[in-house]
Structure 1
């Protein structure tokens, strides 16, 4: 592996498009918030909590994820969580963060929607001031709940629409196909916002097709199973459907047994618009930089691949045209920096 390639991949300006803010809750912060809020936390220590991060599938992760989210109670808690993530993202070269959050996880516990939004927005403002990161909120619905419950959440969120960048769909994929949420997504699109959805992680390639045809999504979150159906793979490549791939998450949730088995090289070879993201970084082994290091260790990509991945992330973001142009100009300049053309590792040789 060339250190200069890795340095370029880490420093290049990029967007993170698939990161659940509740999934960035580090054990140390979880314990601090539990103490601040007087919560009887079900783990004896930080080490005991980290030891619980051994997942056999998505559901085993979600069970712990929801238990830990219970420490988030006040506006300050949500502020602190957001700012902690943006600090880490800045260190990994992130200039644009499109952050997913699950209001139903909090409102179901009696936390007012106003508290959630105010806390996150305060954290975003602090992150922009301190680190210059442009950040938008993706309001995600929990797919293991009913469509009617999700529609009720959408109605509850309407007073905050000026703060919502886009809508998404997350939680348990198996047993909850995109077709379950046709009315919900029609209502979301009617509000003039972009829509995204998790599909093709644990679910089959057919879920990707449903998300595109029935929900009319702008991006597919994950999408790594598209390689299992040549027609689906050809379509996402031809239509330049962005795939927000989360490599470490896929391995930790046993979608792939090993990073070297990941479908990422096949997706790239097919011409898919792939982006690299961290998903739930506190639980899955690291933030965006850690994902980049793990991918590079497995596949030894060259600089041109990392440039394309960074460019894809900016192109696929919902940022303004002017912001995209500014970040892409910086990315192009970094590619043309002295020594930038010295790497050639044949990244897609399979």
Structure 2
């Protein structure tokens, strides 16, 4: 009997021990496994590594904006393609690339030996004109007294008037070559011509070189008046209704540069760019002097944010508090924290206006009153919830 009793006690003891181990296993399993896919448990060591900062919403003056690409453009009316107005040999260059020139300033000197022929024709015709005028006056007097002299008078008049016409035409040609016919004498004949700048600006390209033989229309250089440099924003048709003249624009260099430029929309073009499938929106810098900034170059690209509306004070969080996943945007709040670690819950949110590192957030699920929201380290919490190991 005692043997059977001992067997029963031993069996009961084994059952109690087994149940205890099962309960302990279940407890450990519950502690290690989150309650749901939206719950993340971090150990004290992970909390130290994450350097999480908690907080809540703050009121911020935010605006809705439209992000676009932009390009620094100079209108064709502010670009001069300086060309040779006659054939000749380049005997002097007075400018070089990246130098500023004034309107009317000398760009190059062209030697044109056959220019002497035109000057010779003008001077010879000028002397002949004096003789022909004298002959005209003489035959005019004879014609008044003798009817038989009419034919000679008419010829003299025709020659004189023809010489006058030739003189005016030759004078006009000389002026095209920058020669004043009223001051031309045999003592100041010229064989060199000056090519001058039609506008003020910066020499952005040199085409001619010393000793080059130029023909009429050959390029010498390009001058750009960069004071009229302005950004052109490329806006897709679907967003065009949101954009209008007068809206402010924030411009910055690609790559996260801290340098920013303020501008405003000037006007919108009415045609779609065939290559980009966008509409060009022209803007102007608020500070006109920025166009002369050495870091701004024609054809350069900038990131642009068009301020669509000023929404006022909104409840916002730092942008790094919001994580983006395939199924939407989320934030984390802390349920509890103790010596064993902390539990975080993820809830979906809707984003709104943004600015200065903050973004308006509207929760799409219930948030406990006075909930502690993860402001910094949200992506670390998300990574742990997804089973991604963080580097030590």
Q: TM-score, normalised by structure 1?
A: 0.17
Which one has a larger percent strand, Structure 1 or Structure 2?
2
* Greater Cα radius of gyration, structure 1 or 2: 2
Higher relative contact order (CA 8 A, sep 6+): 2
Q: TM-score, normalised by structure 2?
A: 0.16
